[in-house]
Amino acid sequence: MPGLKKPNVFPESTGYQQPKGQSHMTSKPAKKPKATPAEFALPARPDERYRAPALDKGLDILELLAQQPQGLTRAEIVKEMDRSASEIYRMLERLVVRQYVTRSLSGDRYALSLKLFALANQHPPINRLVNQALPVMDAFARQAEQSCHLGVYDRGNVLITAQINSPRGWSFSLQRGARVGLLDTASGHVLLAFSEAADSVRMRTEHTAVEGEVPITEARLQATLADIRVQGYLERDSQQSFGVVDVSYPILGPDQSALAALTCPYIRRIDSHVGPDLQTVRVLLSQAAQRLSLTQGAAR
């Protein structure tokens, strides 16, 4: 209309120069707000702090195939893992080349090879546990001036798989390879107390009395096992020898069940030598058991 002045949408005072070819009515896109330092500092979950996606993918495939005795096709693996076909194909090919996975003659089915089994048997679990335990047990014996032994469940009773004597020469000890009772020893009770319910039933079903075994009622056994679970260890006068106090802790695995029992048959000296007392020995044995549990994958 005559007399009306067209508004200056972009005043010269602003210093703004409209880009060529751009309409006056086009709005300037809003800038994305910058992330604050706090947004970058969100704490990572402990199990996600050091991620290795490729390794996780390979392990996922191995764990999936471990549940399938007849194997799976590539399409089935892709579907189960909910990943792209290309990334599964590359990982499968590497696992086949490294001989962890076998491919059928027809080329359409994958299954686990025996390589993982062979690797596991190069270091049998008991031998590996004993090798890891011996230096820890030796350190305990030197500090506590007491002997200690490692017992594992074996065919209905407890097998002594490792033994360290006191460096002082005064101690009570069990020979490596000795078999002791499941139902009347500190080691046996600790193994039962920290086993899964089904495993506990199996262990007791397989049990056969050893020579000199002290009988125990079902009510007393259950009360003893309940007390051990509450305390986390067992401490009591030996049921096999006078003057010995058995202190026993579990060596726990990833599922928090006992892989072994670490036991000290404590003997108090009454001569002029003053060694660590029972309370100190208990603390040292607890620390040794915790260290060994961590080497076996148990939670702290």
pLDDT tens by residue, 125-145: 888 899 999 999 999 999 999
Integer Cα distance of 200 and 288 in angstroms: 25
Q: Would you give the DSSP letter of residue 155?
A: T
Percent of the chain with pLDDT over 70: 83
pLDDT at 10: 41
Q: Which residues fall within 8 angstroms of residue 205, CB to CB, at 6 or more apart?
A: none
- Is pLDDT of 96 > 60? yes
Average pLDDT value for residue range 245-262 = 96
Residues 146, 171: contact at Cβ < 8 Å? yes
Residues 294, 270: contact at Cβ < 8 Å? no
- In sequence order, what E strands does the chain have? 101-103, 110-112, 148-154, 157-164, 179-180, 234-237, 245-252, 258-266
Q: In the structure, what pLDDT confidence band is assigned to residue 37 with cuts at 50, 70 and 90? A: very low
Higher pLDDT, 263 or 128: 263
Q: In the structure, what pLDDT confidence band is assigned to residue 19 with cuts at 50, 70 and 90? A: very low
Integer Cα distance of 189 and 264 in angstroms: 14
pLDDT at 48: 67
pLDDT tens by residue, 98-116: 999 999 888 789 999 988 8
Encoded tokens for 115? 């390589």
Q: Which residues fall within 8 angstroms of residue 77, CB to CB, at 6 or more apart?
A: 61, 64, 65, 88, 92, 110
Average pLDDT value for residue range 205-224 = 95
Output the pTM of the full model: 0.67
Sheet of strand 258-266, all strands in order from the earlier edge strand to the far edge: 179-180, 157-164, 148-154, 258-266, 245-252, 234-237
52-118 and 123-295 agree in CATH topology: no
Average pLDDT value for residue range 192-215 = 94
Average pLDDT value for residue range 82-101 = 92
- Look at the domain 52-118 and name its fold: Arc Repressor Mutant, subunit A (1.10.10)
pLDDT at 168: 87
Residue given tokens 């604050």 in the structure block = 36
Integer Cα distance of 134 and 161 in angstroms: 10
Average pLDDT value for residue range 143-150 = 97
Q: Map out the domains of the chain as residue ranges.
A: 52-118, 123-295
Q: Which run of H or E residues covers position 256?
A: none
Classified as helix, coil or strand, 282 is: helix
pLDDT at 46: 55
Classified as helix, coil or strand, 277 is: coil
- Is pLDDT of 213 > 90? yes
Classified as helix, coil or strand, 249 is: strand
Q: In the structure, what pLDDT confidence band is assigned to residue 259 with cuts at 50, 70 and 90? A: very high
Q: In the structure, what pLDDT confidence band is assigned to residue 171 with cuts at 50, 70 and 90? A: confident
- For the chain, give the mean pLDDT: 85
pLDDT tens by residue, 184-197: 999 999 999 999 99
pLDDT tens by residue, 41-70: 444 555 567 888 889 999 999 999 998 988
**How far apart, in Å, are the Cα atoms of 174 and each of 82, 128, 162, 163, 171?**
54, 21, 9, 7, 10
Q: Which amino acid is at 73?
A: T
Q: Which of 198-202, 224-228, 274-278 has the highest mean pLDDT?
A: 224-228
- Look at the domain 123-295 and name its fold: Beta-Lactamase (3.30.450)
Q: How many residues does the chain have?
A: 300
Integer Cα distance of 208 and 198 in angstroms: 18
